[in-house]
Amino acid sequence: MRIFASVSAPRFDDMLLQMPDLWGFLCTPNKWRPILRPGFEHVTCGGDNLAFSNFRPHIFRSWLHRIQPHRARFSFVAAPDVVGDADATLARFPSWERALHRMGFPVAFVLQDGITPDRVPWQSCEAVFVGGSTAWKMSDTVLDLLKSAGMRGKYRHIGRVNSVIRYRHFHPYAESCDGTGITRYVDRYIDRMMPALIELRHAPKWTRP
């Protein structure tokens, strides 16, 4: 399971270049220019919308236009959501989904507290992004959602994976995750996570019984 992060530091740059199957760059409206550096043209990217921290539609749109030339590098771009609120996220999704698809991005629907497999707009997204509260994120409901996504061939990303325990928990059910801890403690985070990444590098994913 690849870890995406939004950080510019020599140690993390080395990981991006030496282990591109395990590390990627998480682009956001306020952190995306590092992917333009010479030598980093082939780094895999994910896109987050920063809905958890004062989402601004005009800034998000401007950012999309700036990264559009690099859209082939993106595994997903998270459609704007409402933190902890599945109903509000569903209401917000259609217009942004259409805009993102018109620009050629693979769209991730963000799973929030209260969503169930029968309510996910599967036909309108290429990926799902697990957001939501910590308690909900660690529930069996989320694993069921990830299994449903896997059976449909959708890309699966987990937000806020900052521990080895959580990485191991989600590894069988997702293709990637992100961790905010690396932005403050780069060396410590990499040292803590690397053994699990190496151990599980070729471990099988969950498959339908």
| Separation in Å, CA 49 to CA 33, 143, 144, 159, 164 | 15, 23, 25, 12, 25
Could you tell me how far CA 25 lies from the centroid of its own chain?
Answer: 10
pLDDT tens digits, residue range 132-150? 999 999 999 999 999 999 9
pLDDT value at position 51? 87
Cβ-contact 22, 15 below 8 angstroms: yes
pLDDT value at position 103? 98
Per-residue tokens: 136: 């909900």
What's the whole-model pTM score?
0.96
Q: What stretches in the chain show pLDDT beneath 70?
A: none
What the chain holds in terms of domains, given with CATH numbers, is: 2-199 (3.20.20.60)
Provide, rounded to the nearest whole percent, the portion of the chain with pLDDT above 70.
100
